[in-house]
Each structure stands twice: as C-alpha cells, then as structure tokens.
Amino acid sequence: MGYLSICDANHITLRLHPSTASATRRMTAQILGAVSIMCPWCAERLPDWFVAAGTIGAVVLALFQNRAQHVESASRIYFDQALTTLRTAVHDFLGVTDADQRPRNDRRHWINFARGVGTAREIALGIKTEELKEMWTKSEHYWRERTYDALSPLWASFPSEYYGYVGADKMKNLVTGPDERAALSESSLAFVYRWIEWPDGYPDVLDKGAKFSEKEIAKMESFGPRGLAEYLRILREVSPSKTSK
C-alpha cells in the first residue's frame, strides 16, 4: 500500500508500505550494481535521474496498489450488504405464514419480498472481484433453494382465492374481496416464480459426484446401512443404465 501527498508543484511526498519500499530499494541497488560493473563512469552519474525515475515508478506502483485495495474493499462492502438484504428478505417472507404453512397472502408481504430480492441483486452488481462474484452466485443460489423448498410442496395446490378474490361474475380485475384484502401483485408473483426456478446453465454440484461404487455397496452390506445397500442393488437391477442423484 502507498500513500501519496502533493505539497506543491515541486514537492511530492510518498510513503510506501515497508514491503513495497524494501522491494523498490533492492531493485534499485541491483540495477545500480550491474551498471557499476559494466560502466563505472555511468554509475557515477546515474543515481540522480535514476532515483527520480524510480520515484515515479514507485508512485505508479503505489497508486496501482491503492486502486486494487479500493476495489477489493468496495466489493466486500457490496457483497456483505447484498447478502444481508437477501437473507433478511427470505427470512421475513418465509417467517410469516398462515394456518396452512403458506406465506401470508398479503399484497405487501409478497411485494416486499420481491423488492428485497431485487434490491439485493442490484447491490450485488457493485461486486467487481471474481472471487466475491462467485461467492455471491453461490450464496444467492443457496437462498433461492431455501425459498423453493419452502414453496414447491405447497404452491402447486394454492387455490385461486389465495392470490385474490374473484367473485361469481369472474371479474379478473377485482382488487378486493369481501374481507377487503387486496389481491396479490402479479408483478411480484412473476418475479418470485422466475427467481426460484433453477437458472439456465447453472451447474449442479451433484453432477460432479460419482455414484456408489461396488466396493462401497459391499461394505454397506457388511457394516451398514444395509437398507441403503439393498435399495442400491434393486435400483441397479431395475435401471442399470440410469444415474440417480
């Protein structure tokens, strides 16, 4: 890390991280030593302008290091804020349910969740380092799966009245029902529906795992779990060519 301050047009103060300053001194000494051997006369006249050039190089190096550290720090801030926003949105959404363990069918409840997820994803756009980008992708997918697991067993059976009251006249644009409850926002429903779907092209970590080996199954038959070993034997007899995750 370097610190640069400009007092006036003729005075520049540069403070370098000890490791950077040490490396710069070693490099300068090595070059001067080589020049002294090849051309003693040059060596006597080299230091003044060489040190000046070295200072400029050190300034550039310090600024480069400062920029890299700034990007790393900023990316960490964006990552932490995006993850906190996403985690809070999921907890708040899944933490409030009705008697049937469904997320509360309240218009604001669904809108707030959709906006929370959307906001987290927008914040994550500020992440610039590849390592934190990968961490964000995996973290987002983890919370996507948590939401999917909570909704998928039930969502298929949600009745139409869950989303909004539709009277006998089938007025699809009816906003409120007899209980004065506002219908759920279609935009928020569409956002959540699309977000919890498995992203196209996203790799499944289970694809990297091999099936049980014959040696492992034989060990199960001797030491357990024997029920799993029996299941695997049957599975291979019924569909020997198919892969089961």
Task: Report the number of distinct structural domains present in the chain.
Answer: 3
Q: Are residues 187 and 219 in the same domain?
A: no
The count of residues in the chain is 245
Compute CA distances 115 → 25, 38, 47, 93, 187, whole Å. 54, 69, 62, 11, 10
Is residue 229 within 8 Å of residue 217, measured between CB atoms? Answer: yes
Range of the domain at 219: 210-245
Q: Are residues 204 and 162 in the same domain?
A: yes
Can you list the positions of beta strands (E) in the chain? 2-8, 11-16
Q: How many angstroms separate the CA atoms of 73 and 71, rounded?
A: 6
Q: Are residues 19 and 138 in the same domain?
A: no
Q: Are residues 50 and 167 in the same domain?
A: no
Q: Are residues 173 and 228 in the same domain?
A: no
Q: Are residues 15 and 107 in the same domain?
A: no
Residue 33, token pair as written in the block: 């030593």
Q: Are residues 66 and 96 in the same domain?
A: no
Cβ neighbourhood burial of 210 (10 Å; 0-12, 13-18, 19+): exposed
Q: Are residues 62 and 86 in the same domain?
A: no
Q: Are residues 95 and 165 in the same domain?
A: yes
Which domain-ending residue is among 54, 70, 86? 70
DSSP 120-152: HHHHHTT--SHHHHHHHHHHHHHHHHHHHHHHH
Instruction: Report the chain's C-alpha Rg in angstroms.
Output: 32
Torsion of CA 180, 183, 185, 191, to 10 degrees: 130
What pLDDT shows up at residue 150?
87
Q: How many angstroms separate the CA atoms of 137 and 143, rounded?
A: 10
What pLDDT shows up at residue 34?
61
Q: Are residues 174 and 90 in the same domain?
A: yes
Distance of CA 239 to the CA centre of its chain: 38
- pLDDT, tens digit only, all 245 positions of the chain: 444 444 444 444 545 555 555 555 555 566 556 656 655 555 555 555 555 555 555 555 555 556 666 678 899 999 999 999 999 999 999 998 888 888 988 889 999 999 999 999 999 999 999 999 999 999 999 999 999 988 877 777 888 888 876 555 444 444 554 455 678 888 999 999 999 888 777 777 777 667 888 999 999 999 888 888 898 888 888 876 654 44
Sorted by sequence, the CB contacts under 8 Å of residue 1 that are 6+ apart come out as 16, 17, 20, 62, 65, 66, 69
Q: Are residues 83 and 160 in the same domain?
A: yes
Q: Which residues in 176-197 are b (16+ Cβ under 10 Å) and which e?
A: eeeeeeebbbeebeebbeebbe
Q: What angle do CA 102, 195, 177 make, to 5 degrees?
A: 40
Q: Are residues 157 and 197 in the same domain?
A: yes
Please list the residues that pair with 3 across neighbouring strands.
Answer: 15
Q: How many angstroms separate the CA atoms of 121 and 117, rounded?
A: 6
Which domain-ending residue is among 16, 49, 70? 70
Q: How many angstroms separate the CA atoms of 167 and 164, rounded?
A: 10
